[in-house]
């Protein structure tokens, strides 16, 4: 069953996170050392996987699948934004809580999970969700964290992942292909995405005291909203809206969208909170707690989707 395969994969990644956490606890490495790996992840590993995913023939089936994944990503993100605004007003969420509830860590987890559970040929459909989310990161999230109304569209298109998606689309539409050695290099770098993301999470966790984590009393509420309320709402929409019939592989494509929304809070939220001095430690605690709890909630969400 797919949910069991996903549970095994998430649990293996969780073990990697614990290993890196212990390295920090034992003072072999520092949590700040994770910054280098974060840079490699953002500017090298992710773009390579995205580029490789577009090295396929643009068949009518792929065309329908991409239209479905893009349309689903836009509607789902709009739904999450609307719910985030409602929850902010109802539960009086602050900027960090609101962004942590709305935005998932799809950028770090969705690609390795899709590769492990479904196969690399399905990564292309995750690019739609990532592209829509990247736009919102540098518009809505940035303005929320910085308490400003100005939107910097240049930052959206200067993002390494967005550049990789645009290049990938050109390669897909033109039929151009990388030489075999280049494709092999892209594939090899893509294999380390999952472990790298969890090593970074473990290093951050290793530098936190449990007393500090427990001092943030609204973390359980935020985790409940991010890991259960938001994904379950999206699940109901994807499962019963009927849009899966738009593509022969619609159910699997929408599963990728659901996986993207069921991941922990976005690490970009931590970066934005740090950049604009808006409770970065609180954002880190939410990120680490939701990353830990998702080992249980993500397989549950997939199991419910398959019922």
**Lowest-pLDDT range of 176-180, 230-234, 267-271, 293-297:** 267-271
Sign of CA dihedral 180, 183, 187, 188: positive
Q: What is the pLDDT of residue 152?
A: 66
Q: For 150-170, b where at least 16 C-beta lie within 10 A, e where not — what string?
A: eeeeeebeebebbebbeebbe
For residue range 57-68, list pLDDT tens digits in order: 778 888 888 889
Give the percent of the chain with pLDDT over 90.
27
Torsion on CA atoms 61, 78, 117, 49, rounded to nearest 10: 80
Neighbours of 243 (CB within 10 A): 17
Q: Which residues pair with 104 in a beta bridge?
A: 265
Q: What is the pLDDT of residue 171?
A: 87
Q: What is the pLDDT of residue 150?
A: 66
156 pLDDT more than 70? no
Q: Mapping DSSP to helix (H, G, I), strand (E, B) and coil, where does residue 46 land? A: helix
First-to-final CA distance of the chain: 11
For the entire predicted model, the pTM comes to 0.79
Q: What is the pLDDT of residue 151?
A: 65
223 pLDDT more than 90? yes
Which residue is it, tokens 């380390």?
Answer: 192
Q: Write down all domains in the chain, each with its CATH number in brackets.
A: 2-306 (1.20.1530.20)
Which residue is it, tokens 């290093």?
Answer: 203
Q: Mapping DSSP to helix (H, G, I), strand (E, B) and coil, where does residue 276 land? A: coil
Instruction: Output the DSSP codes for 154-208.
Output: HHHHTSHHHHHHHHHHHHHHHT----HHHHHHHHHHHTTHHHHHHHHHHHHHHTS
15 pLDDT more than 70? yes
For residue range 102-136, list pLDDT tens digits in order: 999 887 777 777 877 787 778 888 888 888 887 88
**Band of pLDDT at residue 230, cut at 50, 70 and 90:** very high
**Lowest-pLDDT range of 26-30, 190-194, 287-291, 301-305:** 190-194
Q: Which of 64, 85, 105 lies closest to 254, judged by CA?
A: 64
Distances (CA, A) of 133 to 54, 81, 207, 283: 19, 11, 29, 18
Average pLDDT over all residues of the chain: 85
**Band of pLDDT at residue 3, cut at 50, 70 and 90:** low
306 pLDDT more than 90? no
201 pLDDT more than 70? yes
For residue range 94-111, list pLDDT tens digits in order: 999 999 999 998 877 777
Q: What is the pLDDT of residue 221?
A: 96
């Amino acid at each position: 069953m797919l949910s069991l395969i996903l549970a095994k994969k998430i649990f293996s990644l969780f073990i990697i996170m614990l290993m890196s956490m212990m390295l920090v606890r034992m003072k072999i490495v520092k949590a700040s050392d994770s910054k280098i790996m974060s840079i490699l992840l953002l500017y090298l590993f992710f773009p390579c996987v995205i580029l490789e995913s577009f090295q396929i023939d643009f068949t009518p089936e792929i065309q329908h699948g991409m239209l479905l994944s893009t349309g689903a990503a836009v509607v789902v993100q709009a739904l999450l934004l609307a719910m985030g605004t409602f929850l902010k007003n109802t539960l009086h969420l602050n900027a960090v809580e609101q962004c942590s509830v709305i935005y998932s860590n799809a950028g770090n987890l969705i690609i390795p999970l899709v590769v492990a559970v479904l196969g690399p040929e399905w990564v292309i459909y995750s690019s739609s969700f990532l592209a829509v989310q990247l736009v919102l990161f540098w518009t809505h999230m940035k303005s929320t964290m910085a308490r400003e109304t100005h939107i910097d569209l240049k930052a959206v298109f200067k993002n390494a992942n967005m550049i990789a998606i645009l290049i990938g689309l050109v390669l897909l539409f033109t039929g151009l292909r990388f030489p075999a050695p280049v494709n092999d290099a892209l594939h090899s770098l893509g294999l380390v995405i999952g472990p790298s993301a969890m090593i970074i999470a473990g290093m951050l966790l290793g530098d936190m005291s449990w007393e500090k984590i427990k001092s943030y009393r609204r973390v359980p509420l935020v985790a409940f909203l991010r890991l259960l309320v938001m994904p379950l709402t999206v699940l109901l929409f994807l499962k019963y809206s009927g849009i899966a019939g738009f593509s022969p592989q619609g159910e699997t494509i929408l599963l990728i969208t659901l996986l993207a929304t069921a991941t922990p809070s976005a690490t970009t939220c931590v970066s934005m909170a740090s950049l604009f001095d808006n409770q970065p430690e609180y954002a880190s605690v939410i990120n680490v707690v939701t990353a830990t709890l998702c080992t249980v909630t993500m397989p549950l969400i997939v199991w419910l989707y398959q019922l």
